[in-house]
Amino acid sequence: MEAIRIGLLGVGTVGAGVFQVLARNGGEIERRSGRRLQVTQVARRDTAAAKAVVGDAAGISSDPWRVVNDPNIDVVVELMGGYTLAKDLVLKAIANGKHVVTANKALLAVHGGEIFEAARRQGVVVAFEAAVAGGIPIIKTLREGMSANRVDWLAGIINGTTNFILSEMRDKGLAFDAVLAEAQRLGYAEADPTFDIEGVDAAHKLSLMSAIAFGVPVQFDQCYTEGITQLQTQDIRYAEQLGYRIKLLGITKRVESGVELRVHPTLVPSERLIANVEGPMNAVVAHGDAVGTVLSYGQGAGSEPTASAVVADLVDLSRVMDADAAHRVPVLGFQPAHLSDAAVLPMSEIVTSYYLRLRVKDEAGVLAQLTAILAESNISIDALLQREAAEVGGEDSHQTDLIVLTHDTREGLMNQALARMASLPSVLAPITRIRKENLA
């Protein structure tokens, strides 16, 4: 059979990895796919850098439009990133009848509905395994491996930068800013790390996983997003003393009133496998009614781990390109006509448990005031820890930290209770609130 001719947009870290994996494992890949996968055209603004990667094996252009408009290209692999030019190129490739493989989670999280609908009308495939969790095949797991299940919930460490930072803060007792600088030095964090540390990157990925898990549209704009910039080393230490670790999790759940979709720092019991995922690694836990709990773990970024997912999509494409579009796996796992319109719950309606840290005056009656507010709000206490005043502020300190773990309660009630507690003269600093998930 004829080779599948691939146009590569972007020959950076991942693009170079794709080319290298195809060159090194081409024979093994052809045995699996039945067809040769051949990169015939690449586009990169710096053509000399592209030449250093592909040599004479493919045509090189600084103009990506030449690739998407080339009638001899069967599949366009988009690895440029960004929302604007990438979107225009992907839509043009689809309009030209070309299949698309992309690692661009931001593009699909923001414009996925439009792109998927355009692909459906044209009868082409948009594949994006590499867009979520790098080399971990979590899209295929949710869309195909768990297709017999009603998926109840999933939770994931889906940003390696933040997981590295939290791991270092816990292991070395360093402050956030110091560890972020080290992450940038090591190449785990970008010069502008905002998308990572504010949770936006994780929210992009979670929106895609939620759509596949529950058969709902991609709803990034409805995702609650909270990053790790406000976390303090003492909270990580206190959590450890209570038997928990803090992870930035993307969490989505199916509940009676809709779908939860949220990214935030989370206390996880230290005995859970996902609590022990360290450094820049990723992991996703999903729970289905038939299979139970499934953990997927691996490298969430990097040249060849991400390239592995891109090439896997190309292999899948090689098997279905000639099939009738109606008989392919739907892009979100559910037939388009049967997507649910379940609403994303506002955070005020979320039910979870909480870790609270309150810096308070070290004097009689303070604890009674605080617990009375919680009781009046129907919030029950699971555990309470009071630090010695000397540990918090020195031998002559007249302040202390109170650590409260609660049972499940509605976030709206917790917000009201926190507002009341914060107004007390005995509360000396903003109250730290971190959500807690059992993930059982």
111: domain CATH number is 3.40.50.720
Q: What gap in Å lies between CA 123 and CA 119, rounded to an integer?
A: 6
Whether residue 55 lies inside any domain: the answer is: yes
Domain membership of residue 199 (yes or no) is yes
Domain count along the chain? 3
What residues form DSSP beta bridges with 90?
none
**Do both 312 and 295 map to the same domain?**
no
Strand order in the sheet with 37-43: 59-61, 37-43, 4-9, 75-78, 99-102, 126-127
Shared-domain flag, residues 146 and 245: yes
Return the number of other C-beta atoms located less than 10 Å from residue 312's C-beta.
21
Q: Based on the domain organization, do 37 and 111 belong to the same domain?
A: yes
**Residue 393 CB neighbour total at 10 angstroms:** 16
Q: pLDDT value at position 386?
A: 86
Contact 373, 254 (CB under 8 A): no
* Parallel/antiparallel/unpaired status of strands 399-406 and 351-361: antiparallel
Residues recognised as catalytic: 205
The CATH number that applies at residue 388 is 3.30.70.260
Q: Do residues 281 and 379 both lie within one domain? A: no
Q: What is the pLDDT of residue 290?
A: 97
List the Cα angle 22/26/28 in 5-degree steps. Answer: 125
Question: In angstroms, rounded to a whole number, what is the distance separating the alpha carbons of residues 307 and 14?
Answer: 6
| Paired tokens of 194 | 């905002």
If asked whether residues 375 and 233 sit together in one domain, one would say no
Do residues 155 and 203 both lie within one domain?
yes
Q: If you write DSSP's letter for every residue of 173-184 in order, what string do you get?
A: ---HHHHHHHHH
Q: What is the pLDDT of residue 394?
A: 56
261/402 same-domain check: no
Query: Which residue segment(s) compose the domain that 311 sits in?
Result: 4-135+303-338
Does 343 reside within a domain? no
Reported pTM: 0.95
Do 107 and 202 fall into the same domain? Answer: no
Kindly state whether residues 35 and 83 are assigned to the same domain: yes
Q: What is the mean pLDDT of each run of 10 residues along the chain (440 residues)?
A: 92 94 94 94 95 94 96 97 95 98 97 96 96 95 96 97 96 94 91 96 98 96 97 94 96 96 98 96 97 95 93 94 85 91 95 96 92 96 80 67 96 98 96 96
| Domain assignment present for 213 | yes
The answer on 228 and 185 residing in a single domain is yes
Q: Are strands 381-386 and 351-361 parallel, antiparallel or unpaired?
A: unpaired
Asked if residue 99 and residue 10 are part of one domain, the reply reads yes
Give the C-alpha separation, 136 to 141, whole Å: 9
Output the domain CATH number for residue 248. Answer: 3.30.360.10
pLDDT at residue 374, rounded to an integer: 96
Residue 276 inside a domain? The answer is yes
Which positions ≥6 away from 77 have C-beta within 8 Å? 6, 7, 8, 9, 15, 18, 100, 101, 102, 310, 314
Assigned domain for 88 exists: yes
- Per-residue confidence (pLDDT) for residue 243, from 0 to 100: 95
| Domain end marker among 299, 326, 357 | 299
Q: Is residue 272 part of a domain?
A: yes
Considering the domain architecture, whether residues 363 and 318 belong to the same structural domain is answered as: no
Strand pairing report for 281-288 and 292-299:
antiparallel
